[in-house]
Structure 1
């Protein structure tokens, strides 16, 4: 949805429409260390990365205010039920408090493991329809990194329906420089723990649930235009336990 501003010229109101391009970049590390709650929905992911986009646009301010309407900027279709959308924003604020950066710091004397909240403050004003937030300084390092970063377009990202497809999409964009094999395909292997953590898969999900709710939908959706091909292959131990997931993908259709 475009941003609309009103200007005054020659005693007439001139409507100026500024269409957001929606290109977002951030450090590769953000994909690998940022922890999202299992309760996050596809809509929540859209909101989070849209917020990241506007944080980068307003990079010199520590406190940022974003109109509720701006969170619709990159959605594939116009929101019809505004009341419900605003309720979703309020619910999102509750969930987003759980988003954290996982880090480990090693020195000669000590090894420190910890979590830092991505936002130090976030508030949703129902009547003003404004989202007010402050970002952790360490989180800003993710968004304003100039080395080893990935980028994608939010119009494309928000068009992806499944929340798991969105996470796989981000991972494959990050590893686009993996060398292709003789078939023109690329391979990325993640341990079972890495795969479950990166996609925020509920602990209660058994392999059959992952097949049904994660692998099949992601393969089907992402192979339909986003990539030429996305397949998943499970790797097993000698005792027939899943130990890793290999993602086989062909991104030759992407620039």
Structure 2
């Protein structure tokens, strides 16, 4: 188990797993680690192996263990899973099937098809950590903090508002900042502070009138991981999973180019919004005056929504790149 790696898309960190016990979180993350890169196939867990992975030391009957396993899925079913993938907003249950065999003492699980991208897409946008370290933590707050801290392992800094922090870690709305210090940060610092050189900085809102400034968010600083070492470990994992390294590299290069193009569009698109162009319509033998309304990057193409000023007709113009659009704009701009 020492080398068992948990890996999932960062969007999974946006889901608040409120009400889960420490053991239930161990079960969920263990199952997730075994389902990664399985392309939706069913995976069977033996109760003995599951107990070993979550380091279940207490004497628990099979009936009690089954109840805990069932509670994981029951609580997941109550969560409204919402993820944003390109232009889609996806809501679904996490597991497509969750079958417990009390005679064989096994659990058979398959992931909902809509969730596959969170466990199977090999991109740079993922959280990675060791399962063994995760299950050792006693506090549920530490577990939930740890997996989100690992999302920022390359920078060593995580900034978040107090409202989002409380939501993600399932902190009671009745907690004052003194309660968070004692019941949330104290166990986190106890279990993570020394190893990760964790520092917690409170951010305060500006004072209004005579009132005292209040905590508006947190900034966490911790030991960052060496990017080159991590990338090499990722390549080894990819090899073991049977993927073609060169194809994965090509995918990453393509993804980087797409990301740079998208960032470029976001930075300069405002300059072009509501600008007008003039194009000659040879069929009607007249000029059309067109207004740029919006930009949308899709499938390596740039879609530009344009409205005819005269009749209000809206249509999409498609360009191979933002540079092609800029050349077109310079040609017809007024």
TM-score by length of 1: 0.74
For the residues of structure 1 that align with 2:90 and 2:114, how far apart are their CA atoms? 13
| Alpha-carbon distance in 1 for matches of 2:61, 2:129 | 27
Q: CA deviation at 1:76?
A: 4.1
Distance in 1 separating the partners of 2:145 and 2:46: 29
Q: Closer, same or farther in 2 for the Cα pair 1:42/1:252, shift >3 Å?
A: same
User: In the alignment, is residue 215 of structure 1 matched against residue 188 of structure 2?
Assistant: no
Shift of 1:253: 10
Partners of 1:99 and 1:129 lie apart in 2 by 27
Matched ranges for 1:1-255 at <5 A: 21-31=3-13, 33-36=14-17, 38-56=18-36, 59-60=38-39, 62-76=41-55, 78-83=57-62, 84-104=64-84, 115-148=91-124, 149-178=126-155, 186-225=156-195, 227=196, 229-239=197-207, 240-251=213-224
TM-fit CA distance, 1:104: 4.7
Change (3 A) 1:20 1:98: farther
Residues 129 and 203 of structure 1, relative CA distance in 2, 3 Å threshold: farther
For residues 173 and 53 of structure 2, the distance between their equivalents in structure 1, rounded to whole angstroms, comes to: 31
Change (3 A) 1:88 1:106: closer
Gap change, CA 1:187 and 1:62, over 3 Å in 2: closer
Deviation at 1:51, TM superposition (A): 0.4
Tell me, in whole angstroms, the C-alpha distance in 2 between the residues paired with 1:125 and 1:173: 35
SS of residue paired to 2:117: helix
CA positional deviation for 1:81:
2.2
How far apart in 2 are the matches of 1:160 and 1:205?
Answer: 22
Q: CA deviation at 1:61?
A: 5.0
The alignment of Structure 1 onto Structure 2 pairs a total of residues equal to 221
1:207 to 1:133, Cα distance in 2 relative to 1, 3 A: same
Q: CA deviation at 1:251?
A: 4.3
Instruction: Give the 3 Å change call, closer, same or farther, for CA 253–80 of structure 1 in structure 2.
Output: farther
Distance 2:39 2:86 in 1: 31
Label 1:117 to 1:90 Cα distance change in 2 as closer, same or farther (>3 A): closer
Helix, strand or coil at the partner of 2:11: helix
Q: Could you tell me how far apart the structure 1 residues matched to 2:67 and 2:27 are?
A: 13
Q: 1:125 to 1:201 in 2, by over 3 A?
A: farther
Larger strand share, 1 or 2: 1
Whole-Å Cα distance in 2 between the matches of residues 157 and 242 of structure 1? 29
RMSD across aligned positions (CA): 2.8
Quote how far apart the aligned CAs of 1:39 are. Answer: 1.0
Q: Identify the residue that residue 9 of structure 1 maps to in structure 2.
A: none
Structure 2, gaps ≥5 residues long: 208-212, 230-334
| Bigger helix share | 2
In structure 1, C-alpha distance between the alignment counterparts of 2:141 and 2:224, rounded to whole Å: 18
When structure 1 is superposed on structure 2, of 194-203 and 151-160 the one drifting more is 194-203
Q: Partners in 2 of 1:118 and 1:106 — Cα distance?
A: 19
Residue number in structure 1 paired with 2:272: none
Structure 1 gaps of 5+ residues are 1-18, 179-185
Q: State whether residues 164 and 199 of structure 1, in contact with CA within 8 Å, keep that contact through their aligned partners in structure 2.
A: yes
Q: Give the TM-score taking structure 2 as reference length.
A: 0.58
